[in-house]
Structure 1
Amino acid sequence: MTTGLPLPVLGGISLPDVPDVLPDVDLPGLDLSGPVGRIDLSELSLTLAAVVAVVDLVLRVVALVVVPRDRRPSSAMAWLLLIFFVPSLGVIAFLLIGSPKLPRHRREKQASMNRLIEEAARDAEDVVVDHPWPAWVEGVTRLNHLLGAMPLLTGNAARVVPDYDDQLRVLAEEIGRAQRYAHVEFYILSFDEATAPVFAAMEDAVRRGVRVRLLLDHIGSWRYPSYKKTKAELDRIGVQWELMLPVQPLKGRYQRPDLRNHRKLVVVDGERAVIGSLNLIDRTYGKRASPRSRRMLWQDVLVVLEGPVVAEVDALFVTDWYSETDELIDERDPDGETPPGPLDREPAGDLHCQVVPSGPGFEGQNNLKMFNSLIYGAQRRLSITSPYFVPDESLLTAVTTAAERGVQVELFVGEVGDQFLVFHAQRSYYEALLRAGVKIWLYPAPYVLHAKHLTVDEEISVVGSSNLDIRSFELDLELMLLVLGRGFADQMRDVEDAYRRRSRELTLEEWSERGFWRRLADDLARLTSAVQ
């Protein structure tokens, strides 16, 4: 009777016991009794064990060298723990989603467009004389210009649209006013009953001879049932459309699958623009009601812009179109003359505005650096609205420090969330925020508070597509708009006041009484946020 030879556990995988030698087998016409017919499996097992051990050691050493490179310590540690404890899963995951950067050719396109934008705005000044805001704000606008190539521009007007039905109506009306071109870009685009009027406006514009170009994120839109119907409708009405960041390896188009273009914008004739948090889809996102609750409804904010800053929004669309098509859009008037640049346009209002693009096409975390700078500059009041508040260490420190030094800090988040891991990771930060003195307002179900904006003191506002989470800081292409001016800040305060009237305040006492399993789910979900 043979004895078993147990193999050591390597990399979390154990091999079953195998016999020392293969027993004799008597088959007619076949002699396996000689040396050739006997296989020494003990030697084979030792060889296999040695190979596995060497491979395991090499993987760990390579991981120690490669993973921490240009990565936050917390993120590097999370990846290393995953690779060390579950090597097969960790290595595969790192190969698929380990790089937070776009392919080199896309980053080169972004850099070339930045140079063109800087050349077009070479005469713009970030420093404004006789402004009512503190001097430190000038440093923030210079930072934004340095990182994102877009200068601060004066002479703008902006209007906030907080209601969903009004938002769809405004989008249809703005596209309906187009005379030369309309540029449309959405992370999620769906042809459904709610968005049909916007599609009808695009169809009517095409019939009038307007050039309608449209970008939609591939993975962002693909995961909804209406995806095929949406593409068919775009083809039918004659819109020029392209997928953003397509994951099509058989066509040679591939990058890390979860690097997405999260921007939402519309530009009409270079004269008006619409930006914000709204995806062009039914307010329920096609989600069914659960047995214990009503169907979720998304709550967003849009901003309608006029003035020189529209050229910056359009430049962002032109950059994204160039990245996907290699076509550099050159919009000219019918007589062949180039339309006026941002500095040549007539003022539409008294607001100072600056577009702040960010994403893996840039070298730095543009939006995170702006958020931190503004939060540290706040003197009296800071209001933050974000559906996914999963801060990195620097942002959490900035927010809690602001509260601890006497700034009135409030955070508006949803009572319910649509993404399990992100929602629970967000909740894991509530205790630290509450202990620092931050007021947390829970926007009631069934609404998902999807708006993304921040207001500082009396004059400073930021609004757009970026969440305050690690994904938006590193992995998603985003568009945020910095607005300096009391009139617009008052509009944003009205929106925040409406949130507060509908919301309930979360207290530290209530939060401390939550059950063990909910606390555990929050803490475990928090760990996943670092694997970026």
Structure 2
Amino acid sequence: MAFIATWWPIVVLIFDIAIRIAAVIVVPRNRRPTAAMAWLLAIYFIPIVGVLLFLLIGTPRLPRKRRRKQDAINEYIRDTSAHLDFGTLRPHAPDWFTSMVTMNRTLGSMPLAGDNTAHLISDYQKSLDDMAESIRRAKRYVHAEFYILQSDATTDNFFRALEEASARGVTVRVLLDHWANRGKPFYRQTLRRLTAMGAVWRLMLPVQPLRGKYQRPDLRNHRKLLVVDGDVAYMGSQNVTDSTYNLKKNIRRGLHWVDLMVRMDGPVVASINAVFLSDWYSETDETLEDEVELFDIRDGTGDLDCQIVPSGPGFRFENNLRLFLALLYYAQRKIIIVSPYFVPDEALLLAVTTACHRGLQVELFVSEEGDQAVVFHAQRSYYEALLKAGVKIWMYRKPYILHSKSMTIDDEVAIIGSSNMDMRSFGLNLEISMLVRGAEFVGEMREVEEMYRSLSRELTLEEWQQQPLRSTVLDNIARLTSALQ
């Protein structure tokens, strides 16, 4: 017993040193320095908890089999679309725009398409009802893919449209994220309703180890899109759920989500459908080649150039982050960013502040109140640097959560989609963004931005510097934890 008592501390010490040495070797590999440092601090200060967390969520990539699927999909998309006609592009594109389109094609495989129409829908209920009406006109298929999908009073019209389409013999395929929906209100009822109507549905990124389905549990498919017959498509930031998400804590606080969707027709619809078909194949191993052509291109009624940019942990690079960075550096006059969760990495923060130093007008729309405490405080930790650089910060007044995700550059280029400007969206979420060239679309975006501005208040540097010490401490701690990827 004396021997054990003497050697036990030595064994523990050797084990502790071994863990720390192994962490220095393993953790930084192919990881951002900030993320590596955050993990090392967690492991050094709380070794047991830190190691367990790292083993659980320390790999910011999908399983190798899934990544190989994505590589195969990308190659197939490039080969299939290489010689197809995606409409007539607008003339006189600046050289920087052409090079950025090439980058997006290289990373995300999707082509630039011309002759498209795109219109914004900023009213929450109207977007659900518009999607329902498009579904009611379906003749062949409906492809719905949403991060959160709930059958409730607000979405009942949407679900009734799916039921009516299925009853007519239209094929209804539905994808919904597993982890984001499980345990949420109406989860079981929603699945039962989909089954009862005859829809073919699958869970995205399921965490079901007993069924052999497992990956890092906080990886999410955050995309929101709908395609009807290859003729019309919708995408943006809005989930199919009530604006409170039916959560008691949100209802108690009076929180409602504000979102932005875009309705499209034209050749770009084929690219959005290709994203759905890619995700369907990833979850089911079904290519659907006999039922749906990968690029079934339809003529458009408009004159917009659009390019879809998929991103996520299945890709080799952070496609969305590179797109945002390129636009921030190419902008010449004005940048307006709308992002509910703005937690930039070093490159993005540098690009935004550099734009200010170049003399550009830079505005950022965020929410005055947050729904996720850690992200909310991490975001706040960047306000001082942004304000000092000259960024004008607009805070959408509570109790509303501004959930839209967009960026406009000068007067001709915009991005809209599901991607936030935070490390989660860059590295852990599957996202979809759309690059649009066309002054008329940017004009619509400007109208929405002005509406947001009228419902917001400006945060000044003087006000921010009056923040109490406890808020600063919370913000800084949250900033450290946000790097754990």
Both structures adopt the same fold (TM-score exceeding 0.5): yes
Query: Which moves more between the two structures, 67-76 or 112-121?
Result: 112-121
1:370 aligned onto 2:304 = no
CA contact (8 A) 1:425 1:525 kept: yes
Deviation at 1:271, TM superposition (A): 1.0
Conserved? CA contact 2:89–2:113, under 8 Å? no
Amino acid at match of 1:527: L
Contact 1:219 1:260 in 2 (8 A): yes
Aligned alpha-carbon RMSD (Å):
1.7
Aligned to 1:169: 129
Counterpart amino acid of residue 377 in structure 1: Y
Moved more, 481-490 or 230-239: 230-239
Q: 1: CA distance between counterparts of 2:218 and 2:132? A: 30
Match of 2:428 in 1: 475
Q: What residue number does 2:448 align with?
A: 495
Q: Report if aligned partners of 1:425, 1:523 keep a CA contact under 8 Å in 2.
A: yes
Q: Which residue of 2 aligns with 1:463?
A: 416
Matched, 1:217 2:185: no
Partners of 2:294 and 2:67 lie apart in 1 by 28
Q: Distance in 2 between matches of 1:476 and 1:372?
A: 18
- Deviation sequence 1:104-133 (CA, Å, 0-9, x none): 110011111111111121026999876344
Question: Which position in structure 2 is the counterpart of 1:82?
Answer: 42
Contact 1:127 1:138 in 2 (8 A): no
Partner of 2:476: 523
Correspondence 1:121-140 to 2 at 5 A: 121-123=81-83, 131-140=91-100
Give the corresponding residue for 1:31: none
Q: Distance in 1 between matches of 2:286 and 2:90?
A: 42
Contact 1:415 1:442 in 2 (8 A): yes
Query: Deviations along 1:348-406, whole A, 9 cap, x unmatched?
Result: 21100000000000000000000000000110000000000000000000001001111
**Structure 1 residues 380, 95: CA separation in 2 closer, same or farther (over 3 Å shift)?**
same
- Does the aligned pair in 1 maintain the 2:155–2:240 contact within 8 Å? yes
Q: Is the 8 A contact 1:124 1:152 kept in 2?
A: no
| Bigger RCO of structures 1 and 2 (CA < 8 A, at least 6 apart) | 2
Secondary structure of 1:401 counterpart: helix
Per-residue CA deviations over 1:129-185 (Å, capped at 9, x if unaligned) read: 763443211111110000000011111110100001111111111111110000000
- Rounded Cα–Cα distance in structure 2 between residues aligned with 1:464 and 1:331: 30
- Residue equivalent to 2:334: 381
In 2, distance between residues paired with 1:217 and 1:385?
24
SS, match of residue 421 in structure 2: coil
Asked if 1:313 is matched to 2:266, the reply is no
Match of 2:281 in 1: 322
Letter in 1 for 2:435: L
Question: How far off its partner does 1:290 sit?
Answer: 7.5
What does residue 109 of structure 2 align with?
149
Indicate conservation of the 8 Å contact 1:125/1:151, yes or no: no
Equivalent position of 1:191 in the other structure = 151
Task: Indicate conservation of the 8 Å contact 1:126/1:138, yes or no.
Answer: no
Q: Which residue of 2 aligns with 1:356?
A: 309
Paired AA for residue 400 in structure 1: T
Aligned to 1:287: 247
CA contact (8 A) 1:272 1:304 kept: yes
Work out which of the two has the higher radius of gyration on C-alpha atoms and give 1 or 2. Answer: 1
Matched letter for residue 129 of structure 2: R
Task: Name whichever structure is richer in helix by fraction.
Answer: 2
Could you list the runs of 5+ residues in structure 1 that have no partner in the other structure? 1-40
Change in Cα spacing, 1:61 to 1:294, as seen in structure 2 (3 Å) is: closer
Is 1:394 matched with 2:354? no
Deviation track 1:172-209 (CA, whole Å, cap 9, x = no partner) reads 11111110000000001111111111110001011000
Q: Distance in 2 between matches of 1:130 and 1:319?
A: 28
**1:300-330 C-alpha deviation (Å, 9 max, x unpaired):** 0000010111010000000101111111112
CA spacing shift, 1:66–1:339, aligned 2, 3 Å: closer
For residue 347 of structure 1, report the CA deviation from its aligned partner.
3.3
What is the identity percentage for the equivalent residue pairs of Structure 1 and Structure 2? 52
Going from structure 1 to structure 2, the CA distance change for 1:204 and 1:125 (only over 3 Å counts) comes to closer
Q: 2:256 aligns with which of 288, 292, 297?
A: 297
Is this contact kept in 2: 1:99–1:256, CA < 8 A?
yes
Given candidates 58, 65, 68, the residue that maps to 2:25 is 65
1:49 aligns with 2:9: yes
Q: After TM superposition, where is structure 1 displaced by more than 4 Å over at least 4 residues in a row?
A: 124-130
Aligned with 1:240 (options 200, 224, 228): 200
Give the letter for the 1:88 counterpart: I
| AA at the equivalent of 1:227 | Y
> Which residue identity is paired with 2:147?
Y
Q: Is the 8 A contact 2:369 2:401 kept in 1?
A: yes
Hey, what's the Cα distance between the residues in 2 that align with 1:110 and 1:263? 16
AA paired with 2:61? Answer: K
Deviation (angstroms), 1:289: 6.3
- Mark the runs of 5 or more structure 2 residues left unpaired by the alignment: none
TM-score, length basis structure 2: 0.97
Aligned position for 2:224: 264
Deviation at 1:346, TM superposition (A): 2.2
Return the alpha-carbon distance in structure 2 between the equivalents of residues 229 and 340 of structure 1: 34
Partners of 1:414 and 1:447 within 8 A in 2: yes
Is residue 2:357 matched to residue 1:404?
yes
For residue 50 of structure 1, what is the amino acid of its counterpart? I
Output one character per residue of 1:210-250: Cα deviation in whole Å (capped at 9) or x when no partner.
Answer: 00000000011113121111111111111100000000011
Instruction: Give CA deviations for 1:256-306 in whole Å, capped at 9, x if unaligned.
Output: 000110000000011111000001111111134679x85101000000010
Matched residues, number: 485
